[in-house]
Amino acid sequence: MNTQHLVRRLVKATPSKIVFLILDGLGGFRGAGRQQSELEAARLPHLDALAAASSCGLSDPIAPGITPGSGPSHLALFGYDPVEHDIGRGLLSALGVDFPLQPSDLAARMNYCTVRDGLVTDRRAGRVPTAECARLCRMLAKVEIAGVEVFVQPEQEHRAALILRGEGLDDHLTDSDPQVTCKAPLRVQALEAQAERAATIVNEFVRQAGMILKDERPANMVLLRGFARYHPIPSMQELYRLNPACIAVYPMYKGVTRLIGMKVLETGPSLGEEVATLETHWQEHDFFYLHVKKTDSAGEDGNFDAKVAVLEEVDGLLGRILGLRPEVLVITGDHSTPSALKGHSWHPVPVLMHGRWCWPDEVRSFTELAFSRGCLGRLRATDIMPLALASAEKLAKYGA
């Protein structure tokens, strides 16, 4: 019996409330000639004070040394084994835009990118505005492939979801995204014999997309990754007897929460508006996931100062969240995104748990190094959810 099955046996419904404040890409690193990480450089008086009154530690989203994607690392935060539930990013992208998926649909995450002389020079095409992404998606509606319906749905900025509808479209496929610049887009390959037809169809889509976009600037090509078909998994209602809600701006994060049964609340684009949404719906739910994206975006762009600014904005709004008096407040990230690396990394993620039954430790500042000395130690991200449930008095005793 794994931990999730045990928790399912012990969980009980109570009126206590849990908030997960997830700062995407939270962890940083002292690099690129800097003597401080982003957390160490930021002025965070409210987070520092909260750390002094909370249990603190570091978590590994997947396992030590493994660099996680956003999908599996979020599933881990909600207590789902991300290796057992190996869900492609394409499914989460499609669910994120609330596309009406059918069982035979094949979905992929798509980036508009810039290609010059056959090589990818910018995997995000300068983060083109969402309105431009929507225009490009309408252009790709011209793609025609015999025996397949093609849907291209804008997500946000340079991101879109590709959905192919037809029979026999297996999702055992490699990505076309090389994940680095100065390389050519990759040809999609079948990983299993039954995926050969799907690989041929996807490569034909890429070929036609390249022809349609060839005169566009900066988004003149597409990159595909995370091919997936819909595979249902147990909901948070089934597992934890919760009435959970999601407050997020970016579609992918809405997708992963829809997959596990959260109600997605409409919210505005700013962090202040997200907190206002939390306040407005406070009486309606007992679990809230509040997602902050721009910590991750700044890290991926290598913008140290921008990431510091987002952290300081979160610190300034912390009082409003604490003012709601949740029984348990968890503050962590889905993974680390050091601006020095300009991407996700394997470094452990700071995690803070605050509540009546959370033992304050000796930590006095909200930083990676300080949290390494916290009483939570270094734990798996999948352990955060059971600890939060226990601290909210939602778990019964195991055994006599």
| pLDDT tier at 337, thresholds 50, 70, 90 | very high
**Domain containing 325: what range?**
3-86+233-391
* Pairing relationship of beta strands 263-264 and 119-122 according to DSSP bridges: unpaired
- Cα–Cα distance for residue pair 162/107, rounded to 1 Å: 6
Q: Confirm if 249 and 175 have CB atoms less than 8 A apart.
A: no
Q: What is the pLDDT of residue 86?
A: 80
Question: Across the chain, what does the average pLDDT equal?
Answer: 94
User: pLDDT tens digits, residue range 40-95?
Assistant: 999 999 999 999 999 999 999 999 999 999 889 999 999 999 988 888 788 888 88
The reply to whether 199 and 270 lie within a common domain is no
pLDDT tens, position by position, 166-207: 989 999 999 999 989 999 999 999 999 999 999 999 999 999
Among 193, 228, 263, the domain boundary falls at 228
Structural contact between residues 378 and 57, judged by C-beta atoms closer than 8 angstroms:
yes
Two structure tokens written together for 86: 């190996």
Mean pLDDT of 342-350: 96
Q: What distance in Å separates the CA atoms of residue 86 and residue 72, rounded to the nearest whole number?
A: 7
**Same domain as 18, residue 148:** no
CATH label of the domain that carries residue 279: 3.40.720.10
Structure confidence at residue 3 (pLDDT): 82
Segments in 27-88 forming alpha helices (H): 38-41, 45-52, 70-77
Helix ranges (DSSP H) in 148-293? 196-213, 236-240, 251-259, 271-280
Q: In terms of domains, do 239 and 373 share one? A: yes
Give 260-318 as a DSSP string. Answer: TTPEEPP--SSHHHHHHHHHHTGGG-SEEEEEE-HHHHHHHTT-HHHHHHHHHHHHHHH
**pLDDT higher than 90, residue 1:** no
Residues 277 and 328 in one domain: yes
Residues 43 and 136 in one domain: no
> Does residue 399 lie within any of the structural domains?
no
Together in a domain, 72 and 165: no
Number of domains in the chain: 2
Q: pLDDT value at position 265?
A: 97
386 and 302 within one domain: yes
C-alpha span between 66 and 349 (Å, rounded): 12
User: 274-294 b/e with 16+ CB inside 10 Å = b?
Assistant: bbbbbeebeeebbbbbbbbbb
Looking at the DSSP bridge assignments, the partners of residue 328 are 18, 355
Measured CA to CA, the distance from residue 337 to residue 302 in angstroms comes to: 9
Q: Which residues contact 400 (CB under 8 A, 6 or more apart)?
A: none
Torsions phi, psi of 61, nearest 5? -60, -45
Measured distance CA(234)–CA(80) in Å, rounded: 9
88, 162 Cβ separation under 8 angstroms:
no
Cis peptide before 218 (omega within 30 of 0): yes
For residue 127, give the CATH number of its domain: 3.30.70
